[in-house]
Amino acid sequence: MKKANVVKGVIYKGGKSIEGFIRQTGFRKGKSGFELQTPWDFQSAIYFIPKEKFEKNERIRGKHFTKYTPKKCDGYKYDDKYEYVSLKFVDLSKGVSLSLLPKRQFIRKMMDGKISLFQYFSRPTTLFSGESASEAYAKSMKPVLVFRKGNSPKGVIVEVLSGKKVFADCPDVLSSYKAKEYKAEDFTFATKYGKDLSDIEKRKLLAIFDYNKSCK
């Protein structure tokens, strides 16, 4: 955009959509221009300016932006490409006691349906793991898949999904799930949902896809 380092954006709040612009999430690196930061930088807060205010002011300053955290809105759309939803869930990826506390985050929506899918990226830390900085960074670049059933305010990590509970209202899918008919080798969506999915994640994702298709 001509006035500031912003992209088109939408804030979702209280059932309403507010159009405007979001300050780019990233940093400037010399003459190479603007580079996006790591994926977890989209999850904690964004800075938004309504379209009317943006067009009214010739020079955009920091004071013109409003900071939105996951507690202050229902989600947002970034650059007409990525949609994030404010969702509370427990991040089990770090394996430490603090991660067992439910926390509201912006997480990227990957699929709509009776069961929706999202991607979450855990911020790297070496405080408890004993890993090197590069090891922690590489681990955090692997997305954690989260699902939400219906309009629940809480999400659950796909890998710990309880099929008996989640698919209880869809007998056909539940029966196939119990019979282990969903095979990891039949999963062909790795590019979109992650390159290093476990067999457990693949089987559960196939069951979710079938649920959304078969159980209206």
Q: Between 178 and 193, whose confidence is greater?
A: 178
Task: Please report the pLDDT score of residue 122 as a whole number.
Answer: 78
pTM of the model: 0.83
**At 138, phi and psi to the nearest 5?**
-60, -40
Section 28-51 average pLDDT: 76
Burial of 62 per CB tally in 10 Å (0-12, 13-18, 19+):
exposed
Q: Is the pLDDT of residue 130 over 90?
A: no
Query: In the chain, what are the domain boundaries?
Result: 1-80, 86-216
Of 94 and 77, more confident:
77
Answer yes or no: are the C-beta atoms of 133 and 126 closer than 8 Å: yes
